[in-house]
Amino acid sequence: MKKSILLLLLLFLLSILAAETVEIGILATEGKAECIERWCGLAKYLNDRLPQYEFQIIPIDYASVEKIAKTKNVDFLLINPYYYVLMEEKYQATRLATVETNIKGKPYNEYAGVIFCRADNQQINSLTDIKGKSFSAVSPQSFGGYLITRYLFSKFKINTSKDLKISFAGSHRAVVYEVMSGKSEAGSVRSGVLERMAADKLVDLDDIKIISEEKDCSDFPLLHSTCLFPEWPLAKLQHTSKDIAKQVTIELFEMSSESAAAKQAGIWGWTFPSNYQPVHQVLQNLQIAPYEKQDISILNLIIQQHLAEAIVIIIFIIAVAFLVVKLLSIRTKQKLETAVVEQVRNDLQSSQANLQALIESTDDVIVSFDREGKLLTFNNKFAEVVKKSSGLDIKPGMDLLKITPPDQKKFWESVYKRALNGKRFSEVMAYHKDSANPHYYHITFNPIIEDGKVVGFTEFSRDLSELKKTENELRKMYMAVEQGANAIIITDTEGKIEFVNPKFCELTGYSREEVIGKNPNILKSGNQDRNFYQNMWDTIKAGKNWHGELLNKKKNGEFYWEWATIAPIKNEDGEIINFIAINEDITKRKQAQQQLQEANQKLRELSANLEEKVDKAVAEIQEKEHMLIAQSRQAAMGEMIANIAHQWRQPLSAVAAIVQDIEDAYEFDELDTEYLENSVKKTMEQIQYMSQTIDDFRNFFNPNKSKQKFNIREKIEKILTFLNSSVKQYNIKIDLEIDENCTCHGYPNEFSQVVLNILNNAKDAIKENKPENPFIKISCKVNSEGKNIIKISNNGGKIPEDKIEKIFQPYFTTKKDGTGLGLYMSKMIVERNLKGRIELQNIENGVEFKIEI
């Protein structure tokens, strides 16, 4: 199925240079010149879509239709329904599509006959008034301009050859002129003629009286006197290639109502072939070719739908006729009468069985009813459909409307009423249209008329669902190709372009008309040599896909790059019939690659002396860092000296007091050996304390760069001894929560410098903001990953949110006399030397530093 759809799509897209002449014979109802003028757009449309053929319009008059079909002088016929039925019966013509006329912006595939006279003619007001009058028609073979009018007359017991003074004008317009000039008292033309002539200012509709206008076809927008019949079909003759017929049919179905061809012909487009059973019925009733002197019955209607099966039934009728003759010949022989009657009964039963077998052999729904809507005969397909829709098991005699699903009753009631008035119904219906699997049926409901009265009905329904699916698939695939983002080209096996999509035209600047039939080498830029293209052709002709980049040239001379994939298209026998190329515009990508190459070249040039520049830059950075470190250490030393000064004030005061006591003791003669030794001992303790302070100071700033394991609590407690005096001076409470297992492998002095910087900042913030109950809290815990999480918080006030992100930047400070280096160096030490991280956040009434090492 998919292969078939793809093949149809490819056939639909093919458009190559004309090679084979294809002739379309068209019935010229208004003269050959008018015919060519009206339908030449159709030939051009097909030539554009199927350029491998050259389509020509051949105007045909009424007298030449059968002769041309017989001599096979044309390939297709666009003729009226009468001639189609005749060609179908005599020359095995096959209808491919039915024309849809454009009436007031809507499509219609049916038309009618119009009976009219002059508005001032007081003698003609109804059909019966026409008896004995002069009457003008188009031609004895004109279906809309005579035969359906004659069919209507027969219902009113009007014999056109006996009751009318009839003349044939040869064209529809000639009929109108004869009536309006008074040459004929009344006339008939096909629907639409009067309106077109009025639009061309040739007649005034106010001057025309329509006789027996059909009131039950109020939805039909044109003047009409008869019921509606199917429009003209396009048919292929028996000798016409099925392949050509298939291609033509697809292209006709794709014709838009906005196309030049449709507008020039005054049509909407083309649709599925209509059911021409009503035409057969008219010709049977009138007993004209191909139904000279034949009776109308439900059996005949079924024969018309199934020609092959009809042959069997005709044989049966001949057999029955033979038996009847035989019966008459032996009627005088009493002893054989019973045997003959029995034989006839058996043969009739056999024929019924054969007829039922024929009905059951089709996938179409076939059913007949009597005038009251009671079932007469039906096939299993009809029973199956009813069972599925209503759940009923049907039997002969059941009422049509009682077996109809509730949601369809109103519709079928209207169809039934139309049929009671002798009007047929023929339409493509959609069931379950909103579901994922809608079903489409071409339904024809025909009245059975005997002696001018409706005696029953027949219904024929054909499932078009698969055809619709195929049509939808074709449309989707076509739209995918037409609206694709890449340029698509289809060529024949010699490389001649048959199809391009709009993206190709947009990319190259060529129109479809300019490239169809040409070779893609019109795009050559000269960038690829002959060997390149030879390799491409060798690959695809071997049945393989080819991929590669091409530099091509647009119509305006501009160059562009594309990535092309070219693949062979094979038929069901595996033979290559076409090539398809899908081309992606990669010009911008190639330009980007070129720019990248140029940038890489510049990088290579820069990299030649990059090492020297990097070394120089590193040296400059290191020099700056040394300066920052030196400045930071100087600042830290200043802080430390200030702390030492605090630490020394008390012992110096103590030493001064001891010296003062010794002097007082000497004056008051209290100085003895024991007193002196005791004073010297106290003085040495204070001096020893001060000496230890100097040692701690020296060790703290010892630039020891060897990593060692140290206890975090011990280091922090040592730092606090330097700050002891300052902390006491500002009544700062120190809260320590440090686990004993908090140890670190790194540089202890650098760690101490980080903590000291943070504590000095905390002390200064408390000194400046003077909070109640000032505190510094230091905690350390080991997390699940084995890292030390140190938090140092205080309540010396928050840092503005817009300054938090800058707090670790060099030379940024919130102090009036700060250097802006302490926290910057702390961050460098933590991240570079201790391989950790440090961050700051505001908390309630203060800040918290978090160090992870």
CA distance 56 to 24: 6
Q: What is the pLDDT of residues 265-277, one digit of tens each?
A: 999 999 989 889 8
Contacts with 683 (C-beta within 8 Å, 6 or more apart), sequence order: 655, 658, 659
Contacts with 56 (C-beta within 8 Å, 6 or more apart), sequence order: 21, 22, 23, 24, 43
* Bridge partners, 53 (sequence order): 20
Contacts with 300 (C-beta within 8 Å, 6 or more apart), sequence order: 284, 294
Q: Which residues of the chain have pLDDT under 70?
A: 1-19, 213-218, 293-362, 431-436, 471, 474, 599, 603, 606-658, 660-661, 682, 685-686, 688-705, 725, 811, 816-821
> Which residue, chain included where needed, has tokens 């081309």?
583
Alpha helices in 710-796 (DSSP H): 712-722, 724-729, 748-769
Query: Is-contact 350 343, C-beta < 8 A?
Result: no
What is the per-residue burial (b if ≥16 Cβ within 10 Å, else e) of 188-220? bbbbbbbbebbeeeebeeeebbbbbbbeebeeb
pTM of structure? 0.39
Contacts with 669 (C-beta within 8 Å, 6 or more apart), sequence order: none
- For residue 639, CA distances in Å to 27, 171, 300, 633, 751 come to 116, 121, 123, 10, 16
> What one-character DSSP code corresponds to residue 133?
S
Q: What is the pLDDT of residues 596-631, one digit of tens each?
A: 777 677 767 766 665 566 566 556 655 655 555 555
CA distance 151 to 157: 10
* Bridge partners, 25 (sequence order): 58, 77
- The pLDDT, as a whole number, for residue 262 is 94
Please, which contacts does 562-569 make with residues 24 or more away whose CB atoms are closer than 8 Å?
562/487, 562/507, 562/586, 562/587, 566/536, 566/540, 567/540, 568/540, 568/541, 568/543, 568/544, 569/10, 569/490
CA distance 291 to 512: 50
> What one-character DSSP code corresponds to residue 152?
H
* Residue 279 one-letter amino acid: V
Q: What is the pLDDT of residues 4-25, one digit of tens each?
A: 333 333 333 433 333 589 999 9
User: Exposed, middle or buried, 225 (CB in 10 Å: 0-12/13-18/19+)?
Assistant: buried
The closest alpha carbon to 481, from 11, 49, 9, belongs to: 9
| DSSP code per residue over 298-362 | HHHHHHHH-HHHHHHHHHHHHHHHHHHHHHHHTTT-HHHHHHHHHHHHHHHHHHHHHHHHHHHTS
CA distance 768 to 761: 11
Give just the sign of the alpha carbon dihedral 358, 360, 364, 367: positive
Query: Is-contact 403 413, C-beta < 8 A?
Result: no
- For residue 783, CA distances in Å to 248, 788, 789 come to 82, 7, 7
CA distance 46 to 43: 5
Tokens of 72: 């096979």
> What one-character DSSP code corresponds to residue 75?
S
The HSE-up count of residue 671 (CA atoms within 13 Å, CB side) is 14
Alpha helices in 133-276 (DSSP H): 148-155, 160-163, 172-181, 193-199, 242-253, 260-265
Please, which contacts does 634-640 make with residues 24 or more away whose CB atoms are closer than 8 Å?
635/819, 635/821, 635/822, 636/701, 636/753, 636/756, 636/757, 636/822, 637/701, 639/756, 639/760, 640/697, 640/700, 640/701, 640/722, 640/756
SS3 (DSSP) at 455: strand
Rg over CA atoms, the chain: 54
CB count in 10 Å sphere of residue 769: 15
Start-to-end C-alpha separation, the chain: 71
* Bridge partners, 568 (sequence order): 579
What is the per-residue burial (b if ≥16 Cβ within 10 Å, else e) of 687-707? eeebeebeebbeebeeeeeee
| DSSP code per residue over 6-26 | HHHHHHHH------EEEEEEE
CA distance 577 to 702: 90
Query: Is-contact 571 486, C-beta < 8 A?
Result: no
3-state secondary structure 261-299: HHHHHCEEEEECCCCCHHHHHHHHHHCCCCCCCCCCCHH
Beta strand 439-450 pairing with 453-463: antiparallel
CB count in 10 Å sphere of residue 244: 17
CA distance 117 to 115: 7
CA 173 to chain centre: 49
- The pLDDT, as a whole number, for residue 372 is 83
Tokens of 637: 């030393």
CA distance 62 to 56: 19
The closest alpha carbon to 738, from 720, 762, 765, 761, belongs to: 720
Alpha helices in 361-458 (DSSP H): 380-390, 409-420
Question: At residue 106, what are phi and psi to the nearest 5 degrees?
Answer: -135, 150
365-370: strand order across its sheet: 375-378, 365-370, 453-463, 439-450, 425-431
CA distance 744 to 793: 21
Query: Is-contact 662 680, C-beta < 8 A?
Result: no
Tokens of 229: 């019949």
